[in-house]
Amino acid sequence: MNETKPKRRDFTSLWDRPGFLIRRLHQIHVALFLEECSEFNITPLQFAVLTVLYDRETLDQVTIANQIGADRNTVADVIRRLERRGLLERPASVVDKRAKLARITDEGHAFVEAVQPKMIDAQRQLTVPLDREEYEVLMKLMRKLILENYDASRAPMRPGVLQADG
Amino acid sequence: MNETKPKRRDFTSLWDRPGFLIRRLHQIHVALFLEECSEFNITPLQFAVLTVLYDRETLDQVTIANQIGADRNTVADVIRRLERRGLLERPASVVDKRAKLARITDEGHAFVEAVQPKMIDAQRQLTVPLDREEYEVLMKLMRKLILENYDASRAPMRPGVLQADG
DNA sequence: TGTTAATAGGTAGTATACTACGTAATTTAT
DNA sequence: ATAAATTACGTAGTATACTACCTATTAACA
């Protein structure tokens, strides 16, 4: 084979910058998700919130933010929109007067079930180019980077959550 | 070894959804970049725009957007901010009265050189957990997904650009 | 007990990343 | 040469993802 350059990590071209590729992948995923779910008018983050509330638990905003690895304020916005659509309720906590809880409604529950197959289509379409082994390798490496850069983002997921879901 | 489940692609847990992992990775990358470059008050996308203008070419907004794989309107915002800081100039095109071009200033040129090492630190920190082979595999798989989902996002990069930089 | 810490939530502001729509200029087709 | 389609740019609006700062409530400790 022709031995090309040793190829150390140089980052000169945009296509040699992991951050650049990750940004593009993120754009593409969001675009695919929105396209597949266009009939439901739902976003990836909104669906993630509904996913953690699907089993009818009643959680506060911070817990939800930690479980989906999102910013506290962003989650507050998302919850506001989902409540406006009647997919969530927001009961006040009786034990902690600061906390404003969130719980899925029956409508929200049915909504998740309706959207689920489309969400899966979006995930599948993004990754169809990969065979089984490539897929597993990619997922493994991405999980590794997320766990090792655990405290980089302002919305780090808690160890408990990692163990529960990972 | 203990043979766990066959592990088909099921997407039930958030950590089994590629889109979810990509969103988290994107968050982490942005956080690392902003942290490393905090003294310069610059974002990944702003730096990407400066990168394509670094060799003193004078380009229009659409061309810039295509080269960095970003939305046209987003690029317009970014350019506006960079111009406000004196890092870019915006000469009008003489051949096409619709086009408003962008060109890097001397200040912008020096700025890129000052920020470059910090950008590289951010890229490196994101990927330190990976050894050389893992790094190359990850980059290869991400590039593959981007190229194969070429027309998914509204800001697809043109084949010419792909050949030039890929 | 009383002071301090930490926590839950809110508001306001910025940047990215879109959609939808409109205008002016250019290119293509008839 | 004129009409139609395309292109470049702009504005306005929405959603995500932050920072910074604020209040109220709870927990910790001296």
Q: What CATH number did the domain enclosing A79 receive?
A: 1.10.10.10
Structure tokens at B144: 């593959």
Contact criterion met (CB below 8 Å) for A149 and B28: yes
pLDDT at A104 over 60: yes
What pLDDT is stored for residue B2 in this prediction?
53
What is the extent of the structural domain holding A125? 17-151
Residue A79 lies in a domain: yes
Per-residue pLDDT of chain B (166 residues; tens, 9 = 90+): 555 555 567 888 889 999 999 999 999 999 999 988 988 999 999 999 999 999 999 999 999 999 998 999 999 999 999 999 999 999 999 999 999 999 999 999 999 999 999 999 999 999 999 999 999 999 999 999 999 887 666 544 433 222 222 1
The predicted model scores a pTM of: 0.87
Residue from the list B27, B123, B166 with its beta carbon closest to the beta carbon of A153: B27
Distance of CA B107 to the CA centre of its chain: 22
Give residues with Cβ within 8 angstroms of B39, minimum separation 6: B118
Residue B159 lies in a domain: no
Residue from the list B14, B119, B146 with its beta carbon closest to the beta carbon of A68: B14
- Minimal CA–CA distance to B141: which of A150, A83, A138? A138
What pLDDT is stored for residue B105 in this prediction?
96
Contact criterion met (CB below 8 Å) for B128 and B120: no
CA B40/CA A51 separation, integer angstroms: 38
Residue found under tokens 């290869």? B140
Residue B93 Cα, gap to closest chain A Cα (Å)? 27
Four-CA torsion B58, B63, B68, B71, nearest 10 degrees: 130
Residue B10 lies in a domain: no
CA A131/CA B35 separation, integer angstroms: 36
Cβ contact A71 with chain D strand, < 7 A: yes
What pLDDT is stored for residue B118 in this prediction?
93
Chain segment A32-86, per-residue pLDDT in tens: 999 889 889 999 999 999 999 999 999 999 999 999 989 999 999 999 999 999 9
Provide the percentage of residues in chain A whose pLDDT is more than 70.
86
Among B78, B138, B150, B158, the strongest candidate for a mutation testing the A interface, having the largest count of A CBs within 10 A, is B138
What pLDDT is stored for residue B157 in this prediction?
42
pLDDT at A149 over 90: no
Chain A residues 33-72 within an 8 A CB cutoff of chain B: 33, 35, 44-45, 48, 51-52, 67-69
Chain B residues 114-153 within an 8 A CB cutoff of chain A: 119-120, 122-130, 134-139, 141-146, 148-149, 152-153
Residue B6 lies in a domain: no
pLDDT at A156 over 90: no
pLDDT at A110 over 70: yes
Residue A77 lies in a domain: yes
Chain A / chain B CB contacts < 8 angstroms: 188
Give residues with Cβ within 8 angstroms of A152, minimum separation 6: B28, B31, B32, B35, B125, B126
pLDDT at A6 over 70: no
- CA at B77, C1' at D12: how many angstroms apart? 14
Residues of chain B found within 8 Å of residue A49, distances taken between Cβ atoms: none
What pLDDT is stored for residue B161 in this prediction?
28
- Minimal CA–CA distance to B127: which of B113, B137, B117? B137
What pLDDT is stored for residue A83 in this prediction?
93
What pLDDT is stored for residue A2 in this prediction?
53
Residue A72 lies in a domain: yes
Residue from the list A24, A148, A154 with its beta carbon closest to the beta carbon of B146: A24
Among B132, B144, B153, the strongest candidate for a mutation testing the A interface, having the largest count of A CBs within 10 A, is B153
Residue A52 lies in a domain: yes
Residues of chain B found within 8 Å of residue A120, distances taken between Cβ atoms: 11
What pLDDT is stored for residue B155 in this prediction?
47
Residue from the list B33, B130, B152 with its beta carbon closest to the beta carbon of A28: B152
Cβ contact B59 with chain D strand, < 7 A: no
How many domains does one find in chain A?
1
Residue A60 lies in a domain: yes
Chain-chain contact of A24 with B120 (C-beta, under 8 angstroms): no
